[in-house]
Amino acid sequence: MTIKNNLRAGIGSLFLLALISSAIATYYIYQLSENSKAILRNNETSIVYTKNINKVLDLPGLPNSDGLKTIEYNIKREEGDITETGEKALADSLYADFRRFRTSLSNPALAAALRTKMQKSSYGIMEVNMNAMENKNRNANKTANTAISIFIFITSLGSFIVFLFLIIFPGYITKPIIQLTKGVKEIANKNYDNRLSFTDKNEFWDLAEAFNQMAARLFVYENNNQAKITHEKLRVETIVRNVTDAIIGFDENGIVTFVNPVAVKLLGIDEKDIIGSSAQQAAADNDLFFKLINEFEHFDDLKLYLDGKESYFIRELFEIYAPEDVHLWGKNEDESKRIGYFIFLKNITRFHKLDEAKTNFIATISHELKTPISSLKMSLKLMEDKRYGTITNFQKELINNINEDSDRLLKITSELLDMGQVETGKLLLNFGNTHPQNIIKYACETIRFIAEQKEITLNLKCPKNLPDVWADPDKTAWVLINFLTNAIKYSSKKSVIDITVKKHSSAKIEFSVKDHGKGIEEIYLPRVFERYFKVPGSDFAVSGTGLGLAIAKDFIEAQGGEIGVESKIGEGSRFYFTLPVSLI
């Protein structure tokens, strides 16, 4: 039976019982009241009449006319109130005797006999009614007892139903709910085998059916998903295992969860030993691992040996964040949760080889170009010599142009050569103690001519009392010359260039060149030291290869110094570098 019908039956039967009991109560109360009314009406009045008759007959002497009237009146009333068997005969006899008694008052003996007979009849009527009253009273008692029994029965039945309701019904409702809750918890724990079965075919039975269907579908869905995920995982793992790059995976707590074969080879460790250990632990036992997880800022190409061959790698870090709509991790929903990260060592050996080939090619070409350019310059010098004939003004102008272009070409080739030296690691530095003034003087002498051409004033500040620097004077002068030529290039005519040398710290001296030219946009500042970079929109006629500052950076850093730039568009630029103070 359904719960709805159960509730209907329970409450309905209680309602029916209440209805029946009130009907029975009304019926019995009516019965009892009718009985008592009948007693009053049928018997009580007869007793009163006979009582009145006997009152007159019991008086001494013969009754007077009033007494006779009373007797007659009451006999007549009694005649009209015959209710019991035998009562009529007695009443008739009483009346017959009264009529004789009334006429025989002169005969005392007869009158006395009749009076006694009348008294007897009257008492007889009284007795018949009294007996009837007693019988009716007994019947009323019986009726009351029956009513009480019925009430007790109905109340017991009602109580029993209520009792059953109280004892059975809560269990009837809660048992399936508990079972259902258990089932749902099992589903939450991904146990889809659990099924619900209820014996009663009620609403819970339907619910169990629906639940079982859901569990079965979830089971199929989960299995399909699982298969898909396993397939995808295998696919990704195969890719990751076969790439020539090294991959190391970490969970959100920095525990190593994954290393691919290339990473295992590079790190020279056993996969089993590293999986499950923390990044710090692994770093303590392995220098390369330490480098990989600690040197995040400046990370040059890594030269490592893979399968006995020289290989080059760059390090990249990928962080993995939980998708925003997934809150499986039970954390604050607002947090975008990092669930792990990967360190990726990209194998760039192929590119490195190409780069090397390019550098060698450039070095060879620039080296080969230097000799013909020098002989070109030599020939130009000879052409200018008056001993070999006079030249026209037009020819002189042409020679000047060729001379300028040869200088430019020579500058470019020597920059390319320097670049090649830096890239191939063949940069040779001649360190020595040098006073900053020597470097400054040499650089200023070199660029004086081009500065004069633009009427630019060089404002030099280099105190004599500065300590020596430990540096290669030629390479440092080259950097300064590069700063100065750029400053002149990008300054307007008749402007001022400040050349300042000062103590940067107790161990470093700072050289700087400040112009008041066009300046560099902030977004390009971090890129000006990159190879071949030229600020977009640079004047093609004045800009060079875009290698000058890149070479300068390499020269300075190779000497243990730092290089930098500050600039504001429209206000000018300040290029600077530091060099270590000589300790000797």
Exactly one of 98, 250, 289, 490 binds ligand ADP (CB under 6 A); which one?
490
Residue closer to ligand ADP by CB (options 388, 532) is: 532
Query: Which range in 15-23, 139-147, 265-273, 485-493 contacts ligand ADP by CB under 6 A?
Result: 485-493
Q: Which two tokens stand for residue 107?
A: 């005969």
Residue closer to ligand ADP by CB (options 198, 533) is: 533
Chain positions 199 to 218 lying near ligand ADP, rule: CB under 6 A, are none
Residue closer to ligand ADP by CB (options 435, 534) is: 534
Exactly one of 509, 535, 563, 579 binds ligand ADP (CB under 6 A); which one?
535
Q: Does an H or E element contain 369, and which? A: helix 349-384
Query: Which range in 129-137, 156-164, 357-365, 533-541 contacts ligand ADP by CB under 6 A?
Result: 533-541
Residue closer to ligand ADP by CB (options 124, 517) is: 517
Does residue 399 contact residue 380 with C-beta atoms inside 8 Å? yes
Exactly one of 115, 435, 504, 534 binds ligand ADP (CB under 6 A); which one?
534
- Binding of ligand ADP at residue 373 (CB under 6 A)? no
Where do runs of H (alpha helix) occur along 61-107?
A: 65-79, 87-103
Name the nearest CA neighbour of 456 among 405, 411, 491.
Answer: 491
First-to-last alpha carbon distance for the chain, in angstroms, is 106
DSSP state of 296: -
Does residue 251 contact residue 346 with C-beta atoms inside 8 Å? no
Residue closer to ligand ADP by CB (options 295, 407) is: 407
Exactly one of 125, 302, 528, 556 binds ligand ADP (CB under 6 A); which one?
528
Between 279 and 318, how does the x/- string for binding to ligand ADP read (CB under 6 A)? ----------------------------------------
Give the other-Cβ count within 10 Å of 351's Cβ.
13
Query: Which range in 181-189, 255-263, 320-328, 481-489 contacts ligand ADP by CB under 6 A?
Result: 481-489
The C-alpha atoms of residue 359 and residue 529 are separated, in whole angstroms, by 18
Q: Angle at which helices 45-57 and 65-79 pack, to 10 degrees? A: 160
Beta carbon of residue 362, minimum distance to ligand ADP (angstroms, whole number): 15
Exactly one of 544, 560, 564, 580 binds ligand ADP (CB under 6 A); which one?
544
Does residue 495 contact residue 557 with C-beta atoms inside 8 Å? no
Indicate if the alpha-carbon torsion angle 149, 151, 156, 160 is positive or negative: positive
- Binding of ligand ADP at residue 543 (CB under 6 A)? yes
Exactly one of 176, 436, 517, 561 binds ligand ADP (CB under 6 A); which one?
517
- Binding of ligand ADP at residue 577 (CB under 6 A)? no
Residue closer to ligand ADP by CB (options 425, 536) is: 536
CA 289 to the chain's CA centroid: 34
Q: Which two tokens stand for residue 414?
A: 């020597």
Q: Which two tokens stand for residue 582?
A: 């000589």
Chain positions 497 to 516 lying near ligand ADP, rule: CB under 6 A, are 515
Query: Which range in 134-142, 187-195, 297-305, 526-534 contacts ligand ADP by CB under 6 A?
Result: 526-534
Task: Give Dmax over CA atoms of the chain in angstroms.
Answer: 217
- Binding of ligand ADP at residue 549 (CB under 6 A)? yes
Residue closer to ligand ADP by CB (options 482, 559) is: 482
The C-alpha atoms of residue 345 and residue 300 are separated, in whole angstroms, by 12
Beta carbon of residue 542, minimum distance to ligand ADP (angstroms, whole number): 8
- Binding of ligand ADP at residue 414 (CB under 6 A)? no
Beta carbon of residue 526, minimum distance to ligand ADP (angstroms, whole number): 12
Query: What's the Rg (C-alpha) of the chain?
Result: 65
Q: Strands, DSSP E only, in 192-323?
A: 246-251, 256-259, 302-306, 309-321
Q: Which two tokens stand for residue 510?
A: 């700072």
The C-alpha atoms of residue 512 and residue 502 are separated, in whole angstroms, by 9
Q: Does an H or E element contain 235, and which? A: helix 203-242
- Binding of ligand ADP at residue 413 (CB under 6 A)? no
Residues facing 38 on adjacent strands: none
Residues facing 258 on adjacent strands: 249
Beta carbon of residue 565, minimum distance to ligand ADP (angstroms, whole number): 8
Number of residues lying near ligand ADP (CB under 6 A): 22
Q: For binding to ligand ADP (CB under 6 A), which residues are involved?
A: 482, 486-487, 490, 515, 517-518, 520, 528, 533-535, 538, 543-550, 573
